[in-house]
Amino acid sequence: MQSARPGPPEPAGTTRLTLPGPAITLAATTAIQVMSALAALSVPSIAPAVAAAAGRPASMVGTYISLVYLGSAAAALISGSLVSSIGALRVSQLSLVLSALGMVLGLEGTAPALAASAVLLGLGYGPITPASSHMLARSTRPDRIALTFSIKQTGVPAGVALAGILVPALTVWLGWKAALGAVAGLCLACAVAVQPLRAALDHDRDPAARSGSGALLSGLRLVVASRPLRSMAALSFIYSGLQNCTSSFIVAYLVEGLGYGWIAAGAALTAANLAGVAGRIAWGVVADRWLPARRTLQVLGVLMAIGCALAAAFEPGWPALAVYGSCALLGATAIGWNGVFLSEVARRAPSGQAGAATGGSLFLTFVGSVVWPPAFGLLQRASGSYGVCFAAAGALCAAAALLAGVGWRAGGAAAP
C-alpha cells in the first residue's frame, strides 16, 4: 500500500474531520461483511424448506448461488466509480439495503422471485469488499495490512456460520419467511448503525466523479493494464472456484460417498469454515511478518492441492478424525486465502484507487464462483465420483500457483 500523500491546504474556516481509528474502521467493515455474507447464504442454509415452497428440488441451490455471484460480478465492476462519487461507506450502506430487499423479494417463494432475489443479493454483495478495501487501505499501517484485511475477511465465513446456525433455528421456531425477514432487519439495522461514521469515512468522496460507461469499467481497465493485478486476479479465479466448491459439495460428498449422516457431514463443513476463519488471520500474520504476500499465495495453492488430494482419496473406512482434519486443511487454505489476496491488490493499486482495483480484480474472482460449481457438478455427474472432481480441482490449484510464480518472475517484479 502506498503511503498517504499530503492533500491541498484547507480553506480558512474549514472544519477538520476526526477520522475514526483503524480499529473502529476495521470493526465497522467487518460487521458489514458479516451481514452481507449472512444474507447471501440464508436461503442456501434452509434450501429444503424454501425449495419445497417453490416446488423445486433442493439441488437447485447451486443455480441460486451462481445467480448470487453473477450479480456480484456485475456489481464489482461498477463499485469503483460508486466509491469515488458517493463514498465507500455509503456504498456499503446501499449494499446492505439491497441485501435486505433481496431477502424480502424471496419471501414470495416462487422460482422467478427467488432467482430475482439471488441476483439482487449479488448486487448487494459485490460492492462490499471493494468499498471496505478503500476504507481500510487509507487507515491501515503498511506492516499490518495483510492481517487487517484478513481479519475483515473473516466476516465471510463468520457470516456463513451465522447463516448455518441462526437461520435454520429461526425457521424451526417461526418459519422460513420469518427467518428471512429477520435477516433483512439485521441488514437494515447494520446500515443504520454505521451512519455516524459516514461523514468521516466518506470525506474523500467526489460527487463530480465520472459515472458514465467508461467510469463503470475503470476498475477492470486498471487491472488489465497492470501485470501484477492481472496475475492476482487470474489466481483468484482458480482459488475462489475451489472455495465455493468446498462449501457447496463437501456435505453431499460425505453423505453420498462415505455414508455420513447429515449432522456428521455438517460438522465437517463447520470444521472447514472455522479453519477458514483461523486461516484468514494466520495467513495474514504470515504475509506481514515472514513470507511476502505473493509467496504466501503460492504456498496456499500448494496446500490447497494437498487438501484436494486427501479429499479425493476419501474412503468409507477412513477414521472420522482424518476426514475432518482434511476438511479443516481445505478450509484453512481454500477459504483462508482472501485477506492476503485483497491486501496485495490494495497495496499494488495506484494511490487512492484501492476500491477500483479491488472491484476489477473481484470481477474475475466472482466469475470463478459462477463457473466452478456448475462445472464441478457436471464432472461429478459424468464421472460418478466426487473424488475425481477434487483431484481435478487440486491439479488446477497447483498449476495456478506454479504459473503465477513463473509469471511474476518473468515480469521482473519479485514479491516485495
End-to-end Cα, the chain, rounded Å: 11
Q: What percent of the chain has pLDDT over 70?
A: 89
CATH architecture assigned to 22-199+214-410: Up-down Bundle (1.20)
* Secondary structure (3-state) at 157: helix
Is residue 232 packed enough to be buried (19+ CB in 10 Å), middle (13-18) or exposed (0-12)?
buried
d(CA 282, CA 276): 10
At 348-406, the pLDDT tens digits run: 888 777 777 888 888 888 888 888 888 888 888 889 888 999 999 999 999 998 887 76
Judged against a pLDDT cut of 80, whether residue 213 lies above it is answered with no
| pLDDT confidence tier of residue 409, bands split at 50, 70 and 90 | low
At 109-148, the pLDDT tens digits run: 888 999 999 999 999 998 998 899 889 888 888 888 888 8
Residue 210 has a pLDDT of: 56
d(CA 219, CA 66): 22
At 298-331, the pLDDT tens digits run: 999 999 999 999 999 999 989 999 999 999 999 9
Judged against a pLDDT cut of 60, whether residue 416 lies above it is answered with no
d(CA 394, CA 235): 14
- Work out the mean pLDDT of the chain and round it to a whole number: 84
Judged against a pLDDT cut of 50, whether residue 3 lies above it is answered with no
Q: How far from chain centre, in Å, is Cα 263? A: 26
Q: Cell 446492505, residue?
A: 96
Residue 35 has a pLDDT of: 95
Residue 212 has a pLDDT of: 52
Domain boundaries, the chain: 22-199+214-410
Judged against a pLDDT cut of 50, whether residue 10 lies above it is answered with no
- Burial string for 280-308 (b: 16+ CB within 10 Å, else e) reads bbbbbebbbeebbbbbbbbbbbebbbbbb
Residue 117 has a pLDDT of: 95
